[in-house]
Amino acid sequence: MYIDGEFTHGENGAMLDSVDPVSGEVWARIPHGTAGDVSRAVEAAHRAFTQGEWPAYTPSARGALLRRIGDLVAEHADWLAYVEQRDNGKLIAELSMQMRYMANYYYYYGGLADKMEGSVIPTDKSGVFNYTKYEPLGVVACITPWNSPLPLASMKIAPALAAGNTVVCKPSEFTSASLLELAKLFDLAGAPKGIFNVVTGLGAEVGDALISHPYVERIAFTGGPEAGRIINEKAARLMKRVTLELGGKSPNIVFEDADLDQAVKGAIAGIFAASGQTCVAGSRLLVQDSIHDAFVEKLLDIVGGARFGHPADPRTQIAPISTAPQLEKVKAYVDIALKDGARLVLGGRPASVPECPKGLFFQPTIFVDVDNSMRIAQEEVFGPVLSIIRFKDEDDAVRIANDIQFGLAAGIWTQSITRAFAMANRVRAGTVWVNNYRSTSVTSPFGGFKMSGVGRECGIAGMREYMEIKSVWISTETNIPNPFVRR
């Protein structure tokens, strides 16, 4: 772990295994942190926030430090990609791109650090001058899942530090290695001790101790809705601020006037990238009646030929499922869908891949005749399982798209500009893509409506989550007026 600028095995020295989902073997061992380790990390972060070098850093100096970290991330991108690939089995092609892009989180928020301007407010009171300013909160707890460990952590760490906070991160117990590698880069960059800490371990132990610690002011969480709800409830009792990025069951809607070849590619990218283990997965494909059969045929043609293989091989198109419990969850949902009457037209079983005999592979799976009320349409699988649902017209598409507890993202495929705007307005989701799927940028706010979350990450909105706004009143009069007369 990385606590107060030192690498440590933690107070009791116990370790957890990290399993490579391709070989099925333990490839790394990470400290099994305790509540005591959390206390040490949070106290270090609190000390760093209240005394020493960090509070004396100007916003511009914080920006310079973050840009240095961005440079180091860019320089070590291949290594970070390798470490994540061993931990979660994602395709190296995708990870290399993600890790290179990740430097931008540090550059963007480094740039924003000295641009969070307050205002001078013209008020209805005389004799006083009022202005606002943004201030950091204190210690921020970052808790992240296994599907995109470093990018999801960086989305929190970079704005939190740019704003002047200090952080304690708890990565997923399945994929902790890459965040510890990032800690080495903070060390190399000469970051002040205690501003960035990593405590590894289990959610119910380390995660729970972290969110409950009285010095933690804000919790930035990405993960599943169950853990999200527990954290939100605890945070409410302790009056802590939260950002929750939870799951989704996003509709990807194809109208009859779409460019169908483009829409097929968008449907595939929507659900089969990262083997469906992404929060924005377009796992409900809504297809207009008139083109339904032709569209499904096109889809099956391409997906049926997708290539399994070792994720380190750049030719591989389908990566394994990242963890054994997740593979079990995917299998269970296929059984549920079949029992509920969905019709399986592709996949549905684990895949055997000769070059990776112990790999946790699952076939790309497609169900048709799915009704939106079925569990396979309402619940997040977080795997390569696509549910295809028919719709009649625009109103029907909107009704189905919004008839769900989630609201993270949506895709719309149409060549009509009028329909594009209308649908973008009517679909209840934090992100809407028209004629593309999955575009994201550090510059644009990302987050969910409804059960998909609370708050936003990325963009200027993402930075504001880590700051309090303070309103300051300065008297411009030499004589304070009579206190018994109301102003």
Among 88, 98, 104, 144, the residue binding ligand NAD under the rule CB under 6 A is 144
Interface residue with ligand NAD among 64, 74, 93, 230 (CB under 6 A) is 230
Contact between 22 and 359 (Cβ < 8 Å): yes
CA 399 → CA 77, 390, 407, distances in Å? Answer: 43, 12, 13
The 387-426 site mask, x for binding ligand NAD (CB under 6 A), equals ---------------------x------------------
Pick from 286, 292, 306, 315: which is nearest to 427 by CA?
Answer: 286
CA distance 440 to 82: 23
CB of 440 to ligand NAD, least distance (A): 10
Query: What is the signed CA dihedral for 78, 84, 87, 90, rounded to 10 degrees?
Result: -100
Q: 103 is written with which tokens?
A: 């430097």
The interface region with ligand NAD, picked from 30-38, 205-213, 313-321, 360-368 by CB under 6 A, is 205-213
**H/E stretch holding 19:** strand 15-19
Instruction: Confirm or reject binding of residue 204 to ligand NAD (CB under 6 A).
Output: yes
Question: Of the two residues 98 and 288, which places its CB atom closer to ligand NAD in the complex?
Answer: 98
Report how far residue 471's alpha carbon sits from residue 146's, in angstroms, rounded to the nearest whole number.
40
Name which of 165 and 200 has its Cβ closer to ligand NAD: 200
* Catalytic residue positions, numbered: 245
Asked if 87 interacts with ligand NAD (CB under 6 A), we say no
Q: Which of 96, 197, 222, 431 binds ligand NAD (CB under 6 A)?
A: 222
Is residue 142 involved in binding ligand NAD (CB under 6 A)?
A: no
Q: Return the amino acid letter for 265.
A: K
Nearer to ligand NAD, 222 or 363 (CB): 222
Decide if residue 382 touches ligand NAD (CB under 6 A).
yes
Q: Is 247 in the site for ligand NAD (CB under 6 A)?
A: yes
Interface with ligand NAD includes 279 (CB under 6 A)?
Answer: yes
Least distance from ligand NAD to the Cβ atom of residue 261, Å: 29
Element (H or E) spanning 343, and its range? strand 343-346
Q: What mask, x for binding ligand NAD by CB under 6 A, covers residues 362 to 381?
A: ------------------x-
Strand order in the sheet with 431-434: 343-346, 365-368, 385-391, 284-288, 251-254, 409-413, 431-434
Stretch that binds ligand NAD, among 26-34, 54-62, 81-89, 207-215 (CB under 6 A): 207-215
Check: CB of residue 68 under 8 Å from CB of residue 189: yes
Query: Are residues 195 and 45 in contact, defined by beta-carbon separation less than 8 angstroms?
Result: yes
Beta-bridged to residue 135, according to DSSP, are 468
Binding site for ligand NAD (CB under 6 A): 143-147, 152, 170, 172-173, 203-204, 207-208, 211, 222-224, 227, 230-231, 245-247, 279, 380, 382, 408, 453
